[in-house]
Structure 1
Amino acid sequence: MLLRERETKEGLLVSVCDPDCLGETFENGRASITVSESFYAGEDAVEATPEEVVAGLQRAQVANIVGEEAVGVAVDAGLVDEETVLEFGETRHAQLLWL
C-alpha cells in the first residue's frame, strides 16, 4: 500500500491506496473517484505494511483511503466502520476524520 502523510492547516492529512488503484478512475453510478498520483503518491509517499498504515491513520486528523486492501486494513483495525465504506466499481473508498 502507498502511504502519504503531510501537514495541513487542519492537521495531518494521510492518504492510503492500493498501488494498482493509482492513476485509475472508479465510478458507482452516482459519483466517481480518481486516484491521482499528485494526491496519493509523490516523493513523500512510502510503501507501507498494514501496521504502518494503521499507525499513520491513528496519527491523522483526516484520511482518504482507496482500495480493497487499504480499506480492509482500516476496517479490520476498527478505524473505519464497514457500513460507511463506499463501493466504486472495482474498489472501495473510505474517509476518516478525527474530531
Structure 2
Amino acid sequence: MIVNERETEQGLLVAVCDSDVLGETFEDGEFSLTVTEAFYGGDEVDEGTVIDSLVRADVANIVGTRAVALAIEEGIVDEANVLEVGETRHAQLLRMY
C-alpha cells in the first residue's frame, strides 16, 4: 500500500491507497474518483505502517479494497460508511475533537 502524510491547518492528513489503484479512475454513475499521484502518491509501506498513520490521522482518505479492508479490520472505519466506486472501495475519516 502507499501512504502520503501531510500536515494541514486541520491536522494530519493521511492518504492511503492500494498500490495497484494509483493513477486509476473509478466511476459509479455520476460519481468519479481519480487516484492521483499528486494526492495519493507517497511511500510503499507495510500494513503496520498504514495502521500507524491512520491511527494518528485527523483526516484520512482511503482507496482500494485491501486498504479499506485493513481500516475496517482495525476498527478505524465503519464498513457501513464505505463507498463502492466501480471496482474499488473508498472511505474517508474525520476525527472531531
Alignment TM-score, normalising by the size of structure 2: 0.96
Corresponding residue number in structure 2 for 1:31 = 31
Q: Quick check: 1:90 aligned with 2:97?
A: no
Post-superposition, which runs of at least 4 consecutive aligned residues in structure 1 deviate over 2 A? Answer: none
| Counterparts of residues 1-99 of structure 1 (less than 5 Å) | 1-41=1-41, 45-99=42-96
Structure 2 runs not aligned, ≥5 long: none
Q: CA deviation at 1:63?
A: 0.2
TM superposition score normalised by structure 1: 0.94
SS state at 1:32 partner: strand
CA RMSD of aligned residues (A): 0.7
Q: Partners in 1 of 2:34 and 2:44 — Cα distance? A: 20
| Aligned-partner SS, 1:15 | strand
Structure 1 unaligned residues grouped into runs of 5+: none
Shift of 1:47: 1.1
- Secondary structure of 1:38's counterpart equals helix
Report Cα offsets for 1:3-34 as digits up to 9, x if no partner. Answer: 01000111100000011111111011131100
Q: Tell me the SS of whatever aligns to 2:75.
A: coil
Identity of aligned residues (%): 58
SS of match in other structure, 1:83: helix
